[in-house]
Structure 1
Amino acid sequence: MVWNELAVAAFAVIGAAIAMIGGGLGPAIGQGYAAGKGVEAVGRQPEAQSKIMTTMLLGQAVAETTGIYSLVVALLLLGIVNRIL
């Protein structure tokens, strides 16, 4: 019985790590790409800076939601570990 609980705890920790790696890496790459393209667009059309900045920030906020969801999943998995141990 103890082995099963430890196995569940170990897999929950591994799952939390995978959730944070997968959920943190994607938004980071996407936001960096969006920021780079936003700066590029402002360089081409400086007069449209406010519209470009607004659109870019909105896109980055939407991209960040996957990172937040993965953080919630990781915290829930670590809560399972805390309850088991």
Structure 2
Amino acid sequence: MNVTLQGSKMIGAGLATIGLTGVGAGVGIVFGSLVLAFARNPALKQQLFTYTILGFALTEAVALFALMMAFLILFT
């Protein structure tokens, strides 16, 4: 394999993982909002937790897509 091609793949995979920083911030925002909402209205605990898990799953899906792109760049 050409050294230039391998280096380009490494750089591309590294750039593809930049999306993971946004995911980390998004997960923090989701759970921080859960704490604030629960502090305001503890009676809605179950409903708030359900929405939080949905938000967490959708945010983590973005992380999986970013990692998938990085692996596709590296190993194809």
Q: One fold, TM greater than 0.5?
A: yes
| Larger Rg over CA atoms | 1
Unaligned runs of 5+ in 2: none
**What is the percentage of aligned positions where both structures have the same residue?**
29
Tell me, in whole angstroms, the C-alpha distance in 1 between the residues paired with 2:41 and 2:12: 45
Q: Report what 1:14 is aligned to.
A: 11
4+ runs deviating over 3 angstroms: none
1:40-59 CA distance string (max 9 Å, x none) = 10011001010001001101
Is 1:36 the counterpart of 2:23 in the alignment?
A: no
Q: TM-score, normalised by structure 2?
A: 0.91
Q: Which one has the bigger helix percentage?
A: 1
In 1, Cα distance between equivalents of 2:55 and 2:72: 27
CA distance in 2: counterparts of 1:42 and 1:12, whole angstroms: 45
Deviation digits for residues 7-61 of structure 1, max 9, x if unmatched? 11101101111111x2211111011011101111001100101000100110110
How large is the RMSD of aligned CA atoms in angstroms? 1.2
